[in-house]
């Protein structure tokens, strides 16, 4: 089955603008919450995480969600497509489970250079992922929220926008806004 490449459609321009300056540096640690078929993973492995000892950790349940478009997808196949895409890249590791389970198992303070928040799109899910990730993000590290404008016409609690806005309000003064478009990118002060 052909799956959508949401990365190329909404995210690639921001990744190029804000992550390219990191390309080739050693010991970069990236975290992607929600990996889907691995399009963003492969791009980061090919273009940014090329320095020694760099790592991308992908976290996903590969079970889909309540989003309407996910109901039409076979997530066993989505996981297979992901594995086929990322297997050639030794810089990518994956964690099968919820983001909460990941943070409970791997919590550490200020070690991550970049966090991409694109897992649970509900208000509570996004807020929780951002809060748990914030503790692990280095000073000067970047956090990017996908789908900032997604979900128009849906109940606000089912969309990421309110969760992102609540997180930003709670941490006002702790970050610099890099860009706001279909995504929201910030840099930790």
Domain residue ranges in the chain: 6-188
Residues in CB range of 189: below 8 A, 6 or more apart: 139, 173, 174, 175, 176
For residue 59, pLDDT beyond 60: yes
Helices first, then strands: H and E counts in the chain: 7, 7
Q: pLDDT tens across 117-149, in order?
A: 999 999 999 999 999 999 999 999 999 999 999
36: confidence class by pLDDT, cuts 50, 70, 90:
very high
What residue ranges in the chain does DSSP mark as E strands? 29-33, 55-60, 92-96, 112-117, 137-145, 175-180, 184-188
* CATH H superfamily, domain 6-188: Vaccinia Virus protein VP39 (3.40.50.150)
Partners of 117 in the β-ladder:
33, 145
User: Which pTM value belongs to this model?
Assistant: 0.94
Euclidean distance between the first and final Cα of the chain, in Å? 43
């Amino acid at each position: 089955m052909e799956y959508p490449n949401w990365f190329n459609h909404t995210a690639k321009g921001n990744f190029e603008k804000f992550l390219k300056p990191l390309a080739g540096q050693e010991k970069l640690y990236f975290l992607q919450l929600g990996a889907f078929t691995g399009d963003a993973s492969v791009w980061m492995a090919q273009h940014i995480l090329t320095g020694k000892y760099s790592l991308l950790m992908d976290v996903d349940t590969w079970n889909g969600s309540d989003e309407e478009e996910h109901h039409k997808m076979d997530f066993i196949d989505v996981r297979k497509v992901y594995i086929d895409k990322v297997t050639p890249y030794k810089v990518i590791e994956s964690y099968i489970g919820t983001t909460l389970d990941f943070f409970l198992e791997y919590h550490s303070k200020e070690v991550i250079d970049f966090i991409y928040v694109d897992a649970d799109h509900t208000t509570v899910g996004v807020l929780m992922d951002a809060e748990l990730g914030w503790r692990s993000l280095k000073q000067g590290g970047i956090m990017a929220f996908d789908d900032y404008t997604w979900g128009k016409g849906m109940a606000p609690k089912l969309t990421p926008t309110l969760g992102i806005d609540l997180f930003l309000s709670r941490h006002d003064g702790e970050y610099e806004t890099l860009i706001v478009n279909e995504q929201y990118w910030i840099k930790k002060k």
